[in-house]
Amino acid sequence: MPEPIIRTEHLSRFFGTVKAVDDLSLEVPAGIVFGFLGPNGAGKTTTIHLLLGLLEPTQGQASVLGFDTRTQADAIRAHSGALLEFSGLYERMSAQDNLDLYGRIYQMPAPARQARIKELLTHLELWERRQDQVSTWSRGMKQKLAVARALFHHPPLVFLDEPTAGFDPVAAAALRNDLASLVAREGVTVFLNTHNLTEAEKLCAQVGVIRQGKLVTVGAPDELRARTGGPQAEIVGRGFTEQILTTLREQPEVAHADLHNSHLLLELRGESEMGPLVSLLVHAGAEVEEVRRGKASLEDVFLTLMEEEQR
Amino acid sequence: MNDIWTMIWKETKDSLFQGGRSALIRPLLLIGILGIGFPWRFGLQWLALTPVVMVLFLYIPYITIISFVGDAIAGERERHTLETLLASRISDRAILLGKIIVTASYAWGTALIGLLLGLIVANLSKGQGSWEFYTHVDLLLEALALSLLTSLLGVSGGVLISLRSATVRQAQQMLIVATLVLVGGGFLALKAVPAQAISSLSISQIWLIAMAVLAVLDAILLGVSLVSFQRSRLILS
């Protein structure tokens, strides 16, 4: 089995009495987009800081690209790219100079820098405005440039900390598409911090869920759905009385039943047939207009996990 | 060394000459004051590098520095560019030294141009036809060394204060207070020295002592800045 690109063992970082990251043990395989999901303040950014060797862990250890985060942090930073909480662009400099700066930092020769600037800015449709001061650009353009900067020196691993945070849905979707195409083209491993579940669902091969510094679960989105929530059904109609709900909840194949604005939401155990349940509803006097089956979304999984942890 | 050059390149683009032609106003204004205004006003006194001329000559580059050195770290923190820079492979030392070299060179360069231009303007102002150089070459060399040391004092002190300030405004306010303390402290120290001891020294020897004091202060401040500039501290601040 190939060596994971990131491995943490009981990694912890405390700030006084606050446990920002608490006993995190995690393995991220190479070549995938790994989503690190969690609400605000869960410890996602601190985890990236620890993995980049910007912060010393209080306990535990971590290795990134085979380098120890305590003793070989320089090597980690030399071989990875990062787009942190803020884009970190020099707004008084041009887009070209921003990329050129990071090319110089990563000791790329001038011809390679120029070629790479053209390649990335053309791919992201920013080439025409390469000489403009970045301060004159829109937020979406700046963030695309910041993604390009993180990938500029062909790192095998990139850390992205909530790259679409604060974007409207259209801009977020556009950036996500650019991100997906770049990542696929460059064949890079991505450690993606996000609380945007749609983003995680679309981009990530594996996700880890963190809450209050603790890793709650980790796995492929499909695995998490299967583990956390069973199949679901939504029944649209009228006449769903409290008595009908009670009867439904007594059925062995129904794990959970709830009513939301004349929509009956059922969580089922296993791949149960819907026929007998619909028949039961009709015989009890309800009018059924539509029946839809589906799987739990990553959002459902996430919310369930958060609720479980809170209990 | 490559990393320091990278930072020098970056600082020159981002800090000194940002904003196109309007960015040239500040250095041109300074050179105008130091190389044209004062030499024209002082005439031959300027060429003699009298104590008043010397103090003005050192004061202007120092003021230049404290007007923008506060931006060095606090500005990067305020604009959220520091964290990304720290997440790259560039060393702490290269970031700091790059900033110090660029800012000190800017101030010292302004002083050098001021001296050169001042020579021409002072000669033109006296209008006697004959051409005179600076009267005392030893004082000229001391002026050059002192302006470098004063620039370094402003930069290393400024970077240190900028490191500990949350915003550029806070850094600038602290720099003004630190300058007042420095000037006041220097004045009190001079008062504490017996008048006889001072009168027994030549002006050149007084400037040499000032150079030694400045060199010690520069070394201390630079050392403290290098020790204080650490990624883990900056990420947390």
Mean pLDDT of B156-168: 88
Residue A230: predicted pLDDT: 64
B125-154 residue pLDDT tens: 876 778 888 888 888 898 899 999 999 999
Is B19 in Cβ contact with A90 (below 8 Å)? no
- CA distance to partner chain B, nearest, from residue A89 (Å): 6
**Which residues from chain B sit within 8 angstroms of residue A159, using beta carbons?**
87
- A77 — contact with chain B (CB < 8 Å)? yes
**Total domains in the fold of chain B:** 1
Residue from the list B14, B87, B235 with its beta carbon closest to the beta carbon of A82: B87
Point out the residues of chain A with pLDDT beneath 70: 1-2, 226-230, 271-272, 295-297, 308-311
Is B90 in Cβ contact with A78 (below 8 Å)? no
Q: Give the model's confidence band at B207: pLDDT under 50 very low, under 70 low, under 90 confident, else very high.
A: confident
Mean pLDDT of B99-118: 89
Computed over every residue of chain B, the mean pLDDT equals 86
Whole-structure pTM value: 0.81
Q: Which domain holds residue B108?
A: 2-236
A136-183 residue pLDDT tens: 999 889 999 999 999 999 999 999 999 888 777 887 888 888 888 888
Residue from the list B2, B9, B19 with its beta carbon closest to the beta carbon of A107: B2
Spell out the SS3 assignment of chain B: CHHHHHHHHHHHHHHHCCCHHHHHHHHHHHHHHHHHHHHHHHCHHHHHCCHHHHHHHHHHHHHHHHHHCCHHHHHHHHCCCHHHHHCCCCCHHHHHHHHHHHHHHHHHHHHHHHHHHHHHHHHHHHCCCCCCCCCCHHHHHHHHHHHHHHHHHHHHHHHHHHHCCCCHHHHHHHHHHHHHHHHHHHHHHHHHCCHHHHHCCCHHHHHHHHHHHHHHHHHHHHHHHHHHCCHHHHHHC
Residue A63: predicted pLDDT: 96
Residue from the list B2, B9, B14 with its beta carbon closest to the beta carbon of A92: B14
Residue from the list B80, B235, B236 with its beta carbon closest to the beta carbon of A88: B80
Residue B138: predicted pLDDT: 87
**Which residues from chain B sit within 8 angstroms of residue A92, using beta carbons?**
14, 18-19
Mean pLDDT of B76-99: 92
Give this complex's ipTM. Answer: 0.83
Domains and CATH numbers, chain A: 6-226 (3.40.50.300), 230-295 (3.30.70.100)
Is B6 in Cβ contact with A54 (below 8 Å)? no
**Which residues from chain B sit within 8 angstroms of residue A107, using beta carbons?**
2
Examine the pLDDT at B117 and tell me if it is beyond 60.
yes
